[in-house]
Structure 1
Amino acid sequence: MEFLRPASWREALEAKAAHPDATPIAGGTDVMVELNFDRARPGALLDLTAVPEAAEWAPDGSELRIGAGVPYTRLIDELGTHLPGLAMASRTVGSPQIRNRGTLGGNLGSASPAGDGHPPLLASGASIEVESVRGSRVIPAEEFCTAPKRNALEPDELIAAVRIAPASGPQQFSKIGPRNAMVIAVCTFAIALHPDEQRVGTGIGSAAPTPIRAREAEEFLAAELDWSGRGVLPDSVAKRFGELVAQVATPIDDVRGSAVYRRHALSVMARRTLGWAWHEHCSGRQECA
């Protein structure tokens, strides 16, 4: 196995072009597991840890551009106030050691339906910037994962960054696993309220072949909410929202949970996260409940 260690982003792109079968590695929290269990044996490893551009983030117009090599710990510490939903999801990833090493780009690259970083990106309307020596392009987050463990990257492309607007309203994330910490999700759910646009965003993980949005649920809720923040959230609206979220899921039975359980859990998580987000939206208004 060949080991490639570029020192700049340009060198990384050139190395990927010359070795399209090379597997990128940054934190290694997914790749090394695959190697250790002999589930993958790439012709080359492309080590991106010495590429400074990959570990940078900065405002870019109305968005934040977050390098693919920014680890979860920095997402929490440095971007938690800007992207609370993504920070909440990041806190559920593995142990502190894993969060120090693991990266959002790696989570996207592995394209697992259970990836914790995916649902908040969907709820926020994020996009993925990918690049090769041929140029760059931007892929909507909901189109990036194409099948379990498959993504929209061409063989010579690398994930450069995630592009995401700072939160314009409350965001919440919920995860269910067989124990309280360091688990692969049975299912996950993210919600983002966008009051200025009177729009709702959702993201579902580990309940379909790829992370998905619940579009019908989003449209229903956006039409039912009193965006002035002065209305009580009716139980019937929260219940119907949960039902619509569960209906879009196509889960399977596996060792972590049954399809029936996953649908039920998603309905409950959708109602609860909506309640938390609505309470935050109404914070300080006595008329809210």
Structure 2
Amino acid sequence: MEFLRPADWREALAAKAEHPSAVPIAGGTDVMVEINFDHRRPEYLMDLNRIALLQTWETEGDAVRLGAGVPYARIIEELRGPLPGLALASRTVASPQIRNRGSVGGNLGCASPAGDAHPALLAAGAEVEADSVRGSRLIPVDSFYTGVKRNALAPDELIKAVRIPVADGPQQFSKVGTRNAMVIAVCAFALALHPRTRSVRTGIGSAAPTPVRARAAEEFLEAVLADEGLWDSRRDLGPSVVKRFGDLAAASCNPIDDLRGTARYRRHAVGVMARRQLLWTWEEYRAGRG
């Protein structure tokens, strides 16, 4: 296994073009585990830690442009205002040590269906900025996940940043695990209300081959909010709406049985989380905090 250590982004892109099989590594919280357990033995390993631009974030209009290497700990401390859903998800990642090293870019690169950042990114409507010597492109996060631990990156592309809309309404995230910390999600759910566009977005993790949205649940809730004038009146949703939203979210799953949980349990848990998060976000919206 050869070790590549580019000094800047241009050098990194050139190295990736020359060695498309090179596996990028920054925090190493996923890649090194696979290597240590001999689940993966890449021909080339590319260290991106010297590239400062991956460690920065900035606000561009109504979005945050988050460098691929910004660790979860900084998201929690610096971005919980503009990106509340992602900050909540970041709080659930492993341990303080892992949160100081792991990043959203790493989560996206590995594309595990259990990655904690994915549901929040789906609910927010993020875009992945992919870069290569051929140029840059933005990939909607909905299109980024192509299979179990597979993504839409071309062999010569690297993730440079993630563009995430600044929250204009309440956002929530929760996950179920076999214990309270240092746990891979049995399943996870995220919800974001977008009052500016009068839309609803969701994200489900670890309950399908890829992270997915509960589109039927979104469409149902959007119709209720519009038809009953609830965006403006902010009246109570009613228990039947909350229950139906949870049922539709659960039906959007395509889970499996494994050591962490059964498919039946995952569907049930997603439904419970969806109902609870809808109550939490709507109460926040009614209180004028969105």
Give the TM-score normalised by the residue count of structure 2. Answer: 0.96
The Cα of 1:89 is off from its aligned counterpart by 0.3
The Cα of 1:284 is off from its aligned counterpart by 5.8
SS at 2:231's partner residue? coil
**2-side partners of 1:53 and 1:222: how far apart?**
38
The Cα of 1:269 is off from its aligned counterpart by 0.3
8 Å CA contact 1:229–1:281 kept in 2: the answer is: no
What amino acid is aligned across from residue 263 of structure 1 in structure 2?
R
Q: Residue in 1 aligned with 2:256? A: 252
Q: Residue in 2 aligned with 1:282? A: 286
**2-side partners of 1:232 and 1:7: how far apart?**
56
The Cα of 1:4 is off from its aligned counterpart by 0.9
8 Å CA contact 1:186–1:257 kept in 2: the answer is: yes
What amino acid is aligned across from residue 245 of structure 1 in structure 2?
A
Counting matched residue pairs gives 285
CA offsets 1:147-180 (integer angstroms, 9 cap, x no match): 0011111111000110111000000001000011
CA offsets 1:132-161 (integer angstroms, 9 cap, x no match): 001111111011110001111111100011
1:241 aligns with 2:235: no
8 Å CA contact 2:30–2:110 kept in 1: the answer is: yes
The Cα of 1:248 is off from its aligned counterpart by 1.0
8 Å CA contact 2:130–2:136 kept in 1: the answer is: yes
1:268 aligns with 2:267: no
**2-side partners of 1:261 and 1:108: how far apart?**
26
The Cα of 1:61 is off from its aligned counterpart by 2.6
Q: Residue in 2 aligned with 1:211? A: 211
8 Å CA contact 2:234–2:285 kept in 1: the answer is: no
1:42-121 to 2 correspondence within 5 Å? 42-121=42-121
Please identify runs of 4+ aligned residues in structure 1 that moved more than 3 A.
none
Structure 2: which 5+ runs fail to align? none
CA 1:229/1:86 → structure 2, altered by over 3 Å: closer, same or farther?
farther
Q: Residue in 1 aligned with 2:40? A: 40
Cα RMSD, aligned residues only? 1.0
The Cα of 1:229 is off from its aligned counterpart by 4.8
8 Å CA contact 1:171–1:277 kept in 2: the answer is: yes
The Cα of 1:62 is off from its aligned counterpart by 2.4
Q: Residue in 1 aligned with 2:180? A: 180
The Cα of 1:249 is off from its aligned counterpart by 0.5
What amino acid is aligned across from residue 10 of structure 2 in structure 1?
R
**2-side partners of 1:84 and 1:60: how far apart?**
17
**2-side partners of 1:210 and 1:272: how far apart?**
23
**2-side partners of 1:229 and 1:29: how far apart?**
46
Structure 1: which 5+ runs fail to align? none
What amino acid is aligned across from residue 37 of structure 1 in structure 2?
F
Between 276-285 and 246-255, the greater mean CA deviation after superposition: 276-285
**1-side partners of 2:288 and 2:278: how far apart?**
17
**1-side partners of 2:28 and 2:19: how far apart?**
19
The Cα of 1:216 is off from its aligned counterpart by 1.2
1:5-20 to 2 correspondence within 5 Å? 5-20=5-20
1:104-253 to 2 correspondence within 5 Å? 104-225=104-225, 226-253=230-257
**1-side partners of 2:234 and 2:155: how far apart?**
51
CA 1:284/1:194 → structure 2, altered by over 3 Å: closer, same or farther?
closer
CA 1:284/1:148 → structure 2, altered by over 3 Å: closer, same or farther?
closer
What amino acid is aligned across from residue 101 of structure 1 in structure 2?
R
8 Å CA contact 1:113–1:209 kept in 2: the answer is: yes
CA offsets 1:64-95 (integer angstroms, 9 cap, x no match): 11110110001111111110000000000000
**2-side partners of 1:58 and 1:197: how far apart?**
23
8 Å CA contact 1:189–1:204 kept in 2: the answer is: yes
CA offsets 1:246-277 (integer angstroms, 9 cap, x no match): 11110000000000000000110000011110
What amino acid is aligned across from residue 21 of structure 1 in structure 2?
S
Percent of pairs with identical residues: 67
**2-side partners of 1:41 and 1:230: how far apart?**
54
The Cα of 1:230 is off from its aligned counterpart by 2.9
**1-side partners of 2:287 and 2:233: how far apart?**
9
